[in-house]
Amino acid sequence: MGGVDKPLLKLAGQPILRHVMERISPQVTALALNANGDPARFADFGLPMIADTAPGNPGPLAGVLTAMIWAQKSVAGCSHVLTVPGDTPFIPTDLVARLDAARLQSGACLAVAQSGGIGHPLISLWPIDLAAPLETVLNAGDRRVWDFLDRYSVCLVPFAAHGGDPFHNINTPEDLAEAERLAPPAR
């Protein structure tokens, strides 16, 4: 996408991040945005901005760790964090309930969303007590999300694609065009 902040791209007349927020906000106690660089570019969204706690921008797992540490300090009684990419505008409105129910029913440590037979490890419900082991893994240089998840019991929670993948993310102009086709009209 030419190096632009994908969450700021317009979809159905509003930034993609606004779509994500509208779907996630009712499902969680608190919402924050993990992003590195100048936080002013996201100021209009009114979210706490949390930059990676791990040095050197080591990738998505650093964002997960940052979310865990932020939740431990900022959200009283928080036991889990939900992570979703900022370029996935069609997140299900029952995502948290379904991930949590599946996690509890299966006894798994983590719940990972799945669509079309593909697991989406960054659309997951993570226990915040994994912060210390995750930090150890990152400090050792391992940045692979599935490698970290493979250390724990994980339940994959299937979500059906009704009219499109609920975890459609926008990585190319073609993905954005497809999202425009799938998006409900602007309000």
Domain encompassing residue 99: 6-182
Cα 82 to Cα 24: distance, rounded to the nearest angstrom:
9
Q: Is the pTM of this model over 0.75?
A: yes
In a domain, 157, yes or no: yes
Write the CATH number for 91. 3.90.550.10
Q: What is the pLDDT of residue 183?
A: 82
Pairing of strands 110-115, 154-158: parallel
Which tokens sit at 64? 């997960």
Cα 178 to Cα 89: distance, rounded to the nearest angstrom:
12
Q: Which residue has the tokens 């906000």?
A: 25
Low-confidence ranges of the chain (pLDDT < 50): none
In a domain, 187, yes or no: no
Number of domains comprising the chain: 1
Taking the CA of residue 21 as centre, how many other CA atoms within 13 Å lie in the half-sphere pointing to its CB? 17
In a domain, 1, yes or no: no
In a domain, 25, yes or no: yes
